[in-house]
Structure 1
């Protein structure tokens, strides 16, 4: 059965944006993407309020959602969290873990591996444990470890190709050896949770075959004009296209004006919009878990539970479509640029740009249909509507 969609099509290819376009597919691959006037099949009538048709969204940093967290839930919970995000437009999802012991990480890899093998997840992101205790964020300080290349190699071997990226602080012990292990395994080196000085940061950003920055501005020193630091180096490297910087455009981790600034200075080809979502995404305020830590969500903001005051931010509660919508309507970023950072750039970072992240004949039929306000209406994964 052929699916034919008509509306405002954001292709993220040389074809650009089609005001009255058609996306058509019969199976798991796209058949036709072009103007309605050039489509040879049965054509739907033009809708009164044309939907927006986008590539499926890609989230390379997500700790869970729908009430379940990847660092702590069982296989059924992992499937529920992945399904929650897919139903809201994320057709490619990387599951992020937090700093933990080797035994805990091995267990998590085994649990997440089932969802990867079932096609619900694209892979695993290890956020830690080789990060700075001085910028631990929502990580248990007792589970942060100095850089251990042998441990990292054991985890990569145990995962059997399922680990896609690893967050490492440039100042951790044995950094160069860790970078070598990741490069040899074709795993993304993601730099963050750090207080590294400028020189060490520049060195780190020249290592590895692909380098990203874990949630730019968060869990790193602030920009200080008389003291160049990790953030200074990261902004410059991303601006040159040497690294890809993650941006949590949810209005909590970054102000909308900051999101607009990084789009205007670095450009969407060097940015990836992420959620950093945790179990509370899509859920009411209340108590949750993030790895071994207790989290309290109030007014949609998740923080580590601290009986003596306000704890640090502990992941996000937005979905990828929420982040995309806010980036366009609050930060004022053009839709094509925001969609590039939500789809095309993360696809390139993952080494999957020939398969996903754009709408072109032969690519996967991963498609998100939204209303004119970017609220998800229908999600297609490999050509099939997602109903879960």
Structure 2
């Protein structure tokens, strides 16, 4: 049989195949099994074999941001994360005036067309000034029908984060869903009663749960309690061990389960580029010891996380098992985006990550092609 084999502990939808193999021909996985594998042109072995990671919230990397008009910067950011096992991502944009976002989306459109990225995620400008984090509060605004339409018309907007308490937010959720985008709740100061109508209207993602939102309180659950407890909502977790403690990650992931837990990086341009001063939108971000904060304050400004590190942290620091980590980094985000990836099964796109015994990346196969390791 032509093609190539990958052997090791294969994490499949049915469980872990300890003596497993997958056969890849072209861009597809053609077979998955155990025991004696079929003949192939090439065989590659690894300790663990998992689906390619899917990051639905990523602002950049390698010193480059997805806000750049330079195609080389976009490729640099994508390549930085691909080296760490991310085979699919959404390019996240921070809050800017709507006309400027329209221009940025137009630049990213060609990179979606050529398969480099899967679409655009707009984190704002429809956010709460009280929970703005690293978003410029002067830019924030309530959603209106014309603004939402302009953004959707600009290109492949796959997800939009908004605060449900803003005037027009519930109507905006309906408009986004009708337009084929995911409506996400985040950067919000809403109480529970203001969050639930947005979920009823079709919001299905919690943007970096706990971060950028009103804290959980035993008499007022707020957005954290409302979103975490609603089975219709998938919850993003930034598992860099800075944004969230392992205990909080464990509590949230255990309650949400494999069907609703999604790991994201929220990575900024500093990812893979070292400490220093960087720009996020129009704000200056200081990165010290790998932790980005808004200049002059202590507000976290994204992260320098990669998906392989998030995977390891979930297993080693938070105590979840490897199948749960696979679900959170691949299967669930694939389902959210409606992608033919995220699982190691016959007929699926051949996006595969090889991990060694310590869960470090040993190889990345994207669309059936090995990624050159830097």
Q: TM-score range by the shorter chain?
A: over 0.9
In the TM superposition, residue 326 of structure 1 has moved relative to its aligned partner by 0.9
Q: Secondary structure at the match of 1:126?
A: strand
Aligned partners of 1:6 and 1:44 also within 8 Å: no
Q: Find the aligned partners of 1:132 and 1:285 in 2 and give their Cα distance.
A: 29
Q: Does 1:165 align with 2:159?
A: yes
Aligned partners of 1:36 and 1:43 also within 8 Å: no
Q: Provide the residue aligned with 2:20 in structure 1.
A: 21
Count residues in correspondence.
372
In the TM superposition, residue 197 of structure 1 has moved relative to its aligned partner by 1.3
Q: Does 1:200 align with 2:194?
A: yes
- Give the unaligned 5+ runs of structure 1: none
Q: Find the aligned partners of 1:350 and 1:219 in 2 and give their Cα distance.
A: 23
Q: Find the aligned partners of 2:287 and 2:300 in 1 and give their Cα distance.
A: 10
Q: Find the aligned partners of 2:40 and 2:90 in 1 and give their Cα distance.
A: 37
Q: How does 1:345-364 map to 2 (within 5 A)?
A: 345-352=332-339, 355-364=340-349
In the TM superposition, residue 45 of structure 1 has moved relative to its aligned partner by 8.8
Distance 1:255 1:26, change over 3 A: same
Q: Provide the residue aligned with 1:243 in structure 2.
A: 233
Q: Find the aligned partners of 2:70 and 2:283 in 1 and give their Cα distance.
A: 17
Whichever structure has more strand as a proportion of its residues is 2
Q: Deviations over 1:149-183 (max 9, x none)?
A: 21110111121xx1100001001111122112112
**Structure 1 range deviating more: 220-229 or 297-306:** 220-229
Q: Deviations over 1:75-119 (max 9, x none)?
A: 210111011111210001101001101221012112211221221
Q: Secondary structure at the match of 1:9?
A: strand
Aligned partners of 2:191 and 2:220 also within 8 Å: no
Q: Find the aligned partners of 1:91 and 1:218 in 2 and give their Cα distance.
A: 26
Q: Provide the residue aligned with 1:311 in structure 2.
A: 298
Q: Find the aligned partners of 1:43 and 1:268 in 2 and give their Cα distance.
A: 36
Q: Provide the residue aligned with 1:40 in structure 2.
A: 38
Equivalent residue in structure 2 for 1:183, among 155, 163, 177: 177
Q: Provide the residue aligned with 2:311 in structure 1.
A: 324
Q: Find the aligned partners of 1:183 and 1:172 in 2 and give their Cα distance.
A: 17
Q: Does 1:365 align with 2:350?
A: yes
Equivalent residue in structure 2 for 1:217, among 205, 210, 221: 210
Q: Provide the residue aligned with 1:61 in structure 2.
A: 57
Q: Does 1:114 align with 2:110?
A: yes
The alignment's TM-score, normalised by the length of structure 2, stands at: 0.96
Distance 1:3 1:169, change over 3 A: same
In the TM superposition, residue 199 of structure 1 has moved relative to its aligned partner by 0.8
The alignment's TM-score, normalised by the length of structure 1, stands at: 0.93
Distance 1:44 1:381, change over 3 A: closer
Q: How does 1:290-301 map to 2 (within 5 A)?
A: 290-301=280-291
- Give the unaligned 5+ runs of structure 2: none
Q: Does 1:135 align with 2:131?
A: yes
Q: Provide the residue aligned with 2:276 in structure 1.
A: 286
